Amino acid sequence: METVVWSKPEAERPGTPLLVMMHGYGTDESRMVRLFEYLPAGFTCAALRAPMAIGDHYGWFLLDYFLANNFADVITATNQVHAWITSVKGQHSSVSLLGYSQGMAMASTLLRLHPADYLATVGLSGFVLENELLSLTESFTTPPPFFWGRDKADLVINEDATAYTDEWLNENTQLTARTYPGMGHAMSKTEMVDVSAFLRHYVLG
């Protein structure tokens, strides 16, 4: 990845659990950097910038109002992130994922393609991709822990995407689902308290 912002200097990272953070469509890594202070201090957080220019900002793959996508673009972006994670994960005790909005689609796709590589996954105000090829290839020996936070009144993630996400997460993961009325298509301090508790439980033990 060309642009990565770290929560710790390089000398302090070895042996720590890594949390890879992916922003939403039409924004950048700064959205994730603002969350560093709310996450457990024992983690090293890495906020990635998506590779595709979307106006003055960035995205992981092209997306329309209905969340339709080109799956080849999804796989290209996912493989880029996975290759970067593979290049750094040897320094860390484990790797977990956090994705907001389109970043949740990325995080869940990484988990589906490489389930043994990720200890815990957090998805915020986002969705899981409905894709037949992914469904045919995925297999979990044990349901992976997954935190899903959202506002039920979020107007950005459409009803069909939310319904599929709910179905897939309940069928395939050890799900912790929380809703935050009034939050909208965003993240909140209250939500980050719950995310931190989830990560401490499943990663730090």
pLDDT digits (tens, 9 = 90+) for 27-72: 999 999 999 999 999 999 999 999 988 888 999 988 766 666 678 8
Give residue limits of the domains in the chain.
4-204
Q: Which helix (H) or strand (E) holds 179?
A: strand 174-179
Global confidence as pTM: 0.95
- Distance separating alpha carbons of residues 83 and 55, to the nearest angstrom: 26
Q: Give the pLDDT score at 62.
A: 80
Share of the chain above pLDDT 90, in %: 82
State the number of CA atoms in the 13 A half-sphere of 28 facing the CB: 11
Residues sharing a CB contact under 8 Å with residue 81, sequence separation 6 or more, in sequence order: 1, 20, 22, 48, 106, 110
Which fold, 4-204?
Rossmann fold (3.40.50)
What tokens does 75 get?
């796989």
The single-letter code of the amino acid at 167 is E
Of the CA atoms within 13 Å of residue 120, those in its CB half-sphere come to 22
Average pLDDT of the segment spanning 144-159: 96
Pairing status of strand 4-6 against strand 44-48: antiparallel
